[in-house]
Structure 1
């Protein structure tokens, strides 16, 4: 193989992928059999098999037991807008995670007292094992699970205050900024770290996907005068959504 030349199985996969993307092989169409790929492209059985494996790993096709391999219907990605918080305006946990004012959605949550893991302790700058309030959210847009979020708040800050439970009390359900302001803590900035990884089985099940499909993982932390007051993991199915950021330019 000459320098820069693709292996045969990648050339076959590229052509089949092009046919899927341009509609020649539409969703639910059966992928050509291994024998047909071998004949049409003049390649070996091994090359034909590896090309099919590439398309399956990329999520373009799926195997159906006893039936064959078919083109998957890939949803058109929707936008989840991440624009930070708006201290002057009303907020909710849904608005906190989806800043697009035109978006409508709902959420359900469950809060429990827990101990900080090493990772959470580092993010909150507390000692591992210290008590935290852990809240798990499932957010839905138009009735469809859109994202998951698990947040942690140090009980040394919120314990024995009216904002102990994020979804209860006088400012329950109004988001971190309003809740912290209620106990005279002024949130002044927020940071997010964005990455991608295969989704865990429990995550993809909750999001209506397949274990192993990629998710966007956003690690968000709110600060007040440099002190972390809340940190969260936000999980978004990468096939269905794109995280969009609108940031001010100074």
Structure 2
């Protein structure tokens, strides 16, 4: 194959992709059959099949059992604004993760004690196996699941204090900054690292997506005088959301 020339299946997939983009194949329209693709583009069954696989992997089409392959309706990405963390008294877990005042949000959570894995221990600067409080959240905006979050707090910091359980006690439902301040731990820094990966089946099921589709992962850690006091993984569907940062310049 000459340098720069695309394989036949990518050329076919690209033409079908363009038809989806320009509305020639609108949402919920049945994708041309494998036989029709073969005839229209003058390609083999193998090429036609691989082109359809590309579009399915990209999330542009979906198979319906006993019916065929159809163009998916593409959601308009919504913005998850990351604008910093609120002062004590103004930050709830939803606002902490989804800092957009225009969106009304709710969350569900569950907490349990666990042993820190090697990865989480490294992020918290503790020994693997040390006890942590693990809290899992499902966040919803206007009733729609928007993100998942799992946080870990070292019990060496919060154990036997009124804030040991993030969603119970006198500061239930408040953010990390305010809860830590209540036990004289002053959060003064936060690190966020952004990555992407295929969504795990349980994640995409909880978020109403398709297993294997990409998710954005925000790995966030709060620090107090250089000591990590909480770390979390925030997971959002990449096809439905964009993470937007608005940072002051000093």
- TM-score, normalising length from structure 2? 0.97
Matched pairs, number: 250
Equivalents in 2 of 1:207, 1:98: separation in Å?
A: 15
Match of residue 97 from structure 1: 97
Match of residue 20 from structure 2: 20
* Superposed structure 1 runs of 4+ greater than 6 Å apart: none
Structure 1 alignment gaps of length 5 or more: none
8 Å CA contact 1:84–1:190 kept in 2: the answer is no
Q: CA deviation at 1:158?
A: 0.5
Match of residue 55 from structure 2: 55
SS in 2 for 1:5: coil
- TM-score, normalising length from structure 1? 0.97
Q: CA deviation at 1:89?
A: 5.5
8 Å CA contact 2:25–2:71 kept in 1: the answer is yes
SS in 1 for 2:36: helix
Equivalents in 2 of 1:138, 1:46: separation in Å?
A: 42
Equivalents in 1 of 2:111, 2:66: separation in Å?
A: 45
Equivalents in 1 of 2:108, 2:65: separation in Å?
A: 36
Q: CA deviation at 1:216?
A: 0.7
Match of residue 139 from structure 1: 139
Match of residue 174 from structure 1: 174
Structure 2 alignment gaps of length 5 or more: none
RMSD over aligned CA atoms reads: 1.1
Match of residue 85 from structure 1: 85
Q: Map of 1:1-250 to 2, 5 A cutoff?
A: 1-87=1-87, 90-250=90-250
Q: CA deviation at 1:47?
A: 1.4
Equivalents in 1 of 2:2, 2:241: separation in Å?
A: 39
Equivalents in 1 of 2:130, 2:231: separation in Å?
A: 14
Q: CA deviation at 1:88?
A: 5.5
